[in-house]
């Protein structure tokens, strides 16, 4: 029924618009085509000038109200470079924007049709064509140069002392894995994934490097002023690790690990002092990944080394958690456990 009324409203709207257009046409005929056209030109010229003024005031107002208030300042070293690149781009394109828009609307007003003015036709000029081709080419080359310079720094190798964290996306959440005292992440195999026996990432328990790895979900902890390297993957579809406050993002692709690294500049506590007690560093999915995409959010806690050490010591290796789960339900998991260990040994060999 609602669809019927929507169609009726659309038809009525079309009829009303058509009748208004016809009425305007009849008025123009009665008053004289030439006179009506000139009056419309004057009105349009004035409105374009008013639009220019109001538009420029609006640009200034929005900039003053929103600058630095949506995401705040960049919270990582790479984020600073991204912001610098953005400001350079805005400065160059901003100058071009103001010059072209002011000229566009001013010319529309100044050179409106008048009875004592004739149009001047300017069909071709080699010098002007060279100028408006070469200048944009040089400008874009500069912008691309800045972009490549920062891109190679951002995507280059992480420092050797960087802390390594594995980030895995799934519909619709995030899972994190930290290496233990051996500083090595154990091997994993997607066929070993089983939530029921405490193996959500498919770790191969026969690989001893897995025995001290720490697993957490939805909330990751990292250390301020220490390089952090994320090794990124996905368990199902393509996701995207979005770290807006750090100005970083990277695709999470099933079967193809990707990496990114940065150094956080401020702890979560420091950011809350600046932007309020509700502030949190957020990890979001920046790639449409299904009907629950909007809810795919996690938290990154940036803290001091001492706070991180206390937090990591409070966590139990996932290997121990998995073994306890298997012991608590021997009738269900004994066979599965044996199968998993056999497959794991075969996979390593």
More confidently predicted of 256 and 23? 256
Over range 108-125, report the average pLDDT.
79
- 157 Cβ contact list (under 8 Å, min separation 6): none
**Residue 47, domain extent:** 35-113+141-154
From 104, 131, 154, the end of a domain falls on 154
In a domain, 4, yes or no: no
pLDDT for residue 243: 95
Using alpha carbons only, how large is the chain's radius of gyration in Å?
Answer: 31
pLDDT band at residue 215, thresholds of 50, 70 and 90? very high
pLDDT for residue 145: 87
Say if strands 214-217 and 228-234 run parallel, antiparallel, or are unpaired. Answer: unpaired
More confidently predicted of 74 and 124? 74
335 pLDDT above the threshold of 80? no
Counting the structural domains of the chain, the total is 2
232 pLDDT above the threshold of 90? yes
| pLDDT tens sequence across 4-49 | 777 888 898 888 887 887 777 666 666 666 677 777 778 888 888 8
Taking CA 293 as the corner, what is the angle to CA 289 and CA 294, rounded to the nearest 5 degrees? Answer: 155
Over range 229-251, report the average pLDDT.
94
123 pLDDT above the threshold of 50? yes
pLDDT for residue 329: 65
From 154, 181, 212, the end of a domain falls on 154
CATH value at residue 312: 2.60.40.420
Share of the chain above pLDDT 90, in %: 46
Clarify whether residues 230 and 338 are in a common domain: yes
Share of the chain above pLDDT 70, in %: 90
Q: Which of 240, 221, 230 is nearest to 296 (CA)?
A: 240
8 Å CB contact between 154 and 81: yes
What tokens were used for 137? 């080419």
| pLDDT tens sequence across 257-292 | 999 999 999 999 999 999 889 999 999 999 999 999
62 pLDDT above the threshold of 60? yes
| pLDDT tens sequence across 192-206 | 998 888 999 999 999
208 pLDDT above the threshold of 90? yes
From 154, 185, 208, the end of a domain falls on 154
340 pLDDT above the threshold of 50? no
In a domain, 127, yes or no: no
Clarify whether residues 94 and 175 are in a common domain: no
Clarify whether residues 65 and 186 are in a common domain: no
In a domain, 272, yes or no: yes
- DSSP per-residue codes, 40-107: HHHHHHHHHHHHHHHHHHHHHHHHHHHTTTSS-S--BHHHHHHHHHHHHHHHHHHHHHHHHHHHHHHH
In a domain, 125, yes or no: no
Q: How many CB atoms lie within 10 A of CB 81?
A: 19
Clarify whether residues 342 and 210 are in a common domain: yes
């Amino acid at each position: 029924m609602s669809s019927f009324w929507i169609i009726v409203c659309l038809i009525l709207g079309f009829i009303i618009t058509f009748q208004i257009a016809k009425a305007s046409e009849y008025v123009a005929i009665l008053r004289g085509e030439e006179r009506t056209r000139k009056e419309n030109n004057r009105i349009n010229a004035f409105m374009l000038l008013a639009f220019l003024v109001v538009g420029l005031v609006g640009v200034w107002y929005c900039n003053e109200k929103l600058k630095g208030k949506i995401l705040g300042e960049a919270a990582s070293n790479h984020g600073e470079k991204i912001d610098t690149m953005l400001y350079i781009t805005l400065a160059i394109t901003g100058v071009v924007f103001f010059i072209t828009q002011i000229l566009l609307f001013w010319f529309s007003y100044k050179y409106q049709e008048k009875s004592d003015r004739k149009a001047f036709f300017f069909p071709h000029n080699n010098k002007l064509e060279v100028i408006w081709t070469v200048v944009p080419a040089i400008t874009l080359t500069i912008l691309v140069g800045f972009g490549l310079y920062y891109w190679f720094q951002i995507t280059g190798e992480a420092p050797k002392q960087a802390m390594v964290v594995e980030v895995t996306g799934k519909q619709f959440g995030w899972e994190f894995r930290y290496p233990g005292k051996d500083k090595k992440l154990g091997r994993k195999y997607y066929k070993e994934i089983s939530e029921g026996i405490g193996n959500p990432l498919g770790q191969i328990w026969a690989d001893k490097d897995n025995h001290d790895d720490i697993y957490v979900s939805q909330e990751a902890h990292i250390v301020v002023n220490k390089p952090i390297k994320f090794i990124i993957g996905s368990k199902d579809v393509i996701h995207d690790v979005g770290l807006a406050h750090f100005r970083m993002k990277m695709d999470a692709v099933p079967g193809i690990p990707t990496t990114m690294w940065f150094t956080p500049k401020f702890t979560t506590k420091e950011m809350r002092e600046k932007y309020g007690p509700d502030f949190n560093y957020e990890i979001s999915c920046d790639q449409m990944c299904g009907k629950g995409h909007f809810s795919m959010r996690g938290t990154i806690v940036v803290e001091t080394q001492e706070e991180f050490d206390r937090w990591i010591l409070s966590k139990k290796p996932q290997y121990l958690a998995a073994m306890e789960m298997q012991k608590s339900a021997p009738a269900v998991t004994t066979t599965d456990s044996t199968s998993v260990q056999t497959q794991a040994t075969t996979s390593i060999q």
